[in-house]
Amino acid sequence: MSDTKQTLTSIWQLSSHDKPYPHLDQDIEVDVAVVGGGITGLTSAYLLAQSGKKVAVLDAGSFGRGTTGHSTAKLTIQHDFIYDELLSHLGKEKAQQYYQSQQDALTFVRNLVQKNNVECGFSDEDTYLYATTHHGEHRLKREKKAYEQLSIPHEWVTDLPINMKIRAALKVPNQAQFHPLAYLSFLCDELDKKGAHLFENTVCKKVSHKKGSVLVHANDGHTVTAKQIIAATHFPFIDGGGLYMSRMKADRSYVVAGTSSDSWAGGMYLSAEQPKRSLRGVSMNGKHYILVGGDHHKAGQGIDARNHYDALRTFADEQFNDFQAEQEWSAQDLTTLDNIPYIGPLSSLQANVFIATGYRKWGMTGGVTAAHVLADLIVDGNSLYADLYKPMRFHSDPSMKHFLTENADVAKHLIQGKLQNDYEDVRELDNGQGAVVKHNGKRAGAFKDDEGALHLVDTTCTHMGCECNWNHADLTWDCPCHGSRFSYKGEVIEGPAKEPLKKLD
């Protein structure tokens, strides 16, 4: 793998043959415009089209190539230690709703795949939340009590199907895994059959309102006029006074896929302890891969990202015989103040604009849940889970604590970035290297590609002015404040930033 090639390509992307779709090249009018072509957006569009709505889906890149295409693609209701937390802070009714909504999502995907014989590597699997320490086992016991209160099917075990020593694990049966891009390809085909408009490589910059309709403005000047719009763009591309940048944090995590001489016993696994370790298997092109994930940190604030990949490789080497890493990639996930996604109307002033975000690394069931909530709100005017997920909620505990902590962290990094003075010498950069340098007396970002060409950008994030840091492993400029990411050329990879970094001579 070339040092200067962005290592953002997942095993799903390497093994999928996507049908290309055109970009928006004219003004159109539909019932619902969906911005974002991941699992949330395409599932929303599918449900709306099934109900008879005229739908358009627009994506800044290619469908599924964002967060969905970088997932480990687990379909499970076992979302780390969420249920004990929900019972403690929100009570049994809302904890039960969260579980049921995620179970509904899993059941929906399973039924859709089976009914239509979708070839997407779907397999039923047991999931395991396992502990290797006394503290981890104590947390597992508390989570087990929450399962019992909520009637979540589970089993307490002291051994795993794979060769790993543990103290205990919570096993949840009848969960699933799949190939996310193969599944999305099916949804796109179904949308095609329904006459939906599908547009790729169409960047949506803003929305406006006119005579009860909402206009989505693309960057080339064309518009989509709709009765409602859904922003399913990972980080909402519109804010509408919701201050979502201050009510979510962005975390990066890493995945290494490789082969082993060990036979894979099945199952999906997540460690109770930090640093997190996630495991699942997948057969592809006649080979069986083990996906090892984890090592998360706040976006733009980790150590050299190469170290995170190395840590996962070391874990895999210790756990599996003859492990040979073949592919690696990173993912970015958003977490809300209370760990429950924001799904619903953007704000009380824009009730015909809907958002879905903040899945906290559980976007496969989370995205399908969001699609059902949004489709119900648009078609029926209500959803059983609307109150649980409403975006404008604010719980004093733990929301206030997290709100203050996260925004204090943003302020700290905003100031630190402006004060940095440990610049590299651009003349000492080797091909394939990037660094913060001084250019004409000011802070700048430099990258030298394989041919020795120098790419200089202003490292000031175009979102709110924080200074971006260099990510050596992915060859990107990452903002430590709100998680915006840019290519070494300055192009936007992840929001909330909409504009590229300024190029310097």
Peptide bond into 275 cis (omega under 30): yes
Cα–Cα distances in Å, from 391 out to 271, 354, 376, 394, 395? Answer: 30, 9, 16, 9, 12
pLDDT class for 405, splitting at 50, 70, 90?
low
Q: What single letter denotes the amino acid at residue 323?
A: F
Which tokens go with 321?
């015989």
Q: CB of 260 within 8 A of CB of 321?
A: yes
Buried b (16+ CB within 10 A) or exposed e, 223-261: bbbbbbbbbbbbbbbbbbebebbebbbbbbbbbbbbbbe
Backbone angles phi, psi at 129, to 5 degrees: -100, 110
The tens digit of pLDDT for each residue in 214-256 reads 999 998 899 999 999 999 998 888 877 667 777 888 898 999 9
Distance (Å, rounded) from C-alpha 58 to C-alpha 56? 7
10 Å CB burial of residue 142 (0-12, 13-18, 19+) is: middle
Residue reference for tokens 């086992």: 137
User: How many angstroms separate the CA atoms of 235 and 215, rounded?
Assistant: 19
pLDDT at 144 over 90: yes
Does the structure show a pLDDT above 90 at 55? yes
* 109 CB-contact burial (10 Å; exposed 0-12 / middle 13-18 / buried 19+): buried
Predicted pLDDT at 235: 86
What pLDDT does 91 receive?
Answer: 95
Say if CB 332 and CB 380 are below 8 A apart: no
Q: Is the pTM above the cut of 0.95? A: no
